[in-house]
Amino acid sequence: MIYLDNAATTPLKEEVLESMLPWLRSDFGNPSSLYLPGRKARVAVESAREEIASFVNAHPSELFFTSGGTESNNAILRSAFYESRLVSSFAAPASEHHSVLHPLRDLSSQGASFSLIPVNCEGRVVPDSLLHFNQRSVLVSVMHANNETGVIQDLALVKEHVPEAFLHSDCVQSLGKVSVNVEELRVDFASFSAHKIHGPKGIGAMYVRRGIDFKAHQSGGAQERNRRAGTEAVALIVGMATAVRLACDRIREFQERSRLLSDLLRKRLAEIIPGVRFNTPQYKVLPNILNVSFPGGSATQGESILQMLDMQGVCVSNGSACVSGSQQASHVLLAMGLPVSEASMAIRFSFSFMNATEDVEAAVVATEQAYQSTLV
């Protein structure tokens, strides 16, 4: 198998699994219990929180564990409107992940106002369009790096244009791949997930800037200092901290290796498929994602290419894991102004440390065959 869909998820690293095993086998205490096994679990959770916080330049008290990026996005946006009553309006680009767009759509049907922020043909926010949202009653949500194209948004520039508004960023794709420093990014809220960086699935975190009166969206017990009820998933939390440390310690190396692979793929695809379009720009992007549209396409052809690649053991996707299989044009590419034909015919290749140049060469051969067969 050639796995080139690392933006969808990544395999668990051996070291991550090793760090989790004691918490799955013998150390079963509930971190809220006051006796020894409970206290031991509490220490593990708090050490993990400190470690992750140090890598994103947050204070540990600003990080709350959740079940992943989707929950973090939902909790932050819904709580800002319902429980915390911080804002009455939201603004976000149409190229955001569905776990941001769908809660915002729900909130707008419940009385919140929701405006779309325009993006340019590369998918970058148009800064001047933001001025309108510079109000304390508005929450602006702009993802750090796009999961389909890899485009990185200049969040500090966004904040410069909306200093009064709250700023949330979905940092699920950027954590461990580029620097994520909540102070430099000037965000008030951020969302993280472990499984994009060889951590376990089902664990993530939300960052809430100190001083913001943030109330729980999910209520129950007093866990996570009353911000997210539910017994902490100790093993997953420990695994997330290990994954974050391993990824952040090797960011430079990850960037160099991924850049090598995506440059090679770009060059080879341009040679063999005339008219191929690269939806991932060359600069200010995650190095490990390359999104490509094939000429003369339709949604059915896009799906056929994916299926044929699958039959040859090459795992790639047509963008977001959430829409694959549904033969829809990518909402991200449509927001960038691509015609439906090109937005339907896109394939995302995404790399991790586990890939090598041989994977790229094999994927290129398989892609060319799959593409040619859709033309006959």
Q: Which residues are known to be catalytic?
A: 322
**Rounded distance between C-alpha atoms, residue 74 and residue 217, angstroms:** 9
**Rounded distance between C-alpha atoms, residue 251 and residue 256, angstroms:** 9
In the bound state with ligand PLP, the residue whose beta carbon lies nearer, of 149 and 293, is 149
**Binding window for ligand PLP (CB under 6 A); candidates: 169-177, 221-229, 247-255, 350-358:** 169-177
Amino acid at residue number 349: F
**Rounded distance between C-alpha atoms, residue 278 and residue 78, angstroms:** 35
In the bound state with ligand PLP, the residue whose beta carbon lies nearer, of 42 and 227, is 227
Supply the minimum distance, in Å, between the C-beta of residue 214 and ligand PLP: 19
| Residue from 84, 89, 153, 173 in contact with ligand PLP (CB under 6 A) | 173
Those residues with Cβ within 8 angstroms of residue 80's Cβ, 6 or more apart along the chain or in another chain: 86, 87, 90, 139, 166, 168, 189
Residues in 182-201 at the binding interface with ligand PLP, rule: CB under 6 A: 193
Please work out the total of residues on this chain that contact ligand PLP, with binding judged by CB under 6 A. 13
CA angle 245–152–67, rounded 5-degree value: 50
Beta strands per DSSP E along 42-123: 63-66, 89-93, 113-117
Residue 347's DSSP bridge partners are 292
Supply the minimum distance, in Å, between the C-beta of residue 193 and ligand PLP: 3
**Rounded distance between C-alpha atoms, residue 222 and residue 64, angstroms:** 12
Supply the minimum distance, in Å, between the C-beta of residue 20 and ligand PLP: 17
Q: Is 267 exposed, middle or buried (0-12, 13-18, 19+ CB in 10 A)?
A: exposed
Supply the minimum distance, in Å, between the C-beta of residue 171 and ligand PLP: 8
Q: Does 318 bind ligand PLP (CB under 6 A)?
A: no
Residue 84-103 contact track with ligand PLP, rule CB under 6 A, x = bound: -------------x-x----
Among 370, 168, 123, 149, which Cα is nearest to 262's? 149
| Residue from 147, 280, 318, 355 in contact with ligand PLP (CB under 6 A) | 147
**Binding window for ligand PLP (CB under 6 A); candidates: 128-136, 165-173, 262-270, 283-291:** 165-173
In the bound state with ligand PLP, the residue whose beta carbon lies nearer, of 189 and 371, is 189
**Binding window for ligand PLP (CB under 6 A); candidates: 170-178, 181-189, 232-240, 293-301:** 170-178
> φ and ψ at 92, to 5 degrees?
-155, 150
What secondary structure letter does DSSP report for 286?
Answer: -
Where helices occur in 250-339 by DSSP H, the ranges are 251-272, 299-311, 331-335
Residues in 22-81 at the binding interface with ligand PLP, rule: CB under 6 A: 68-70
| Residue from 53, 138, 172, 316 in contact with ligand PLP (CB under 6 A) | 172
CB count within 10 Å of CB 66 equals 28
**Rounded distance between C-alpha atoms, residue 6 and residue 3, angstroms:** 7
In the bound state with ligand PLP, the residue whose beta carbon lies nearer, of 98 and 268, is 98
**Rounded distance between C-alpha atoms, residue 82 and residue 74, angstroms:** 12
Residues in 244-283 at the binding interface with ligand PLP, rule: CB under 6 A: none
| Residue from 117, 143, 233, 363 in contact with ligand PLP (CB under 6 A) | 143
Among 121, 141, 40, 30, which Cα is nearest to 81's? 141
Structure tokens of 103? 């809660």
**Binding window for ligand PLP (CB under 6 A); candidates: 168-176, 206-214, 341-349, 359-367:** 168-176
Supply the minimum distance, in Å, between the C-beta of residue 320 and ligand PLP: 6
| Residue from 321, 323, 340, 356 in contact with ligand PLP (CB under 6 A) | 321
Q: Binding residues for ligand PLP, per CB under 6 A?
A: 68-70, 97, 99, 143, 147, 170, 172-173, 193, 204, 321
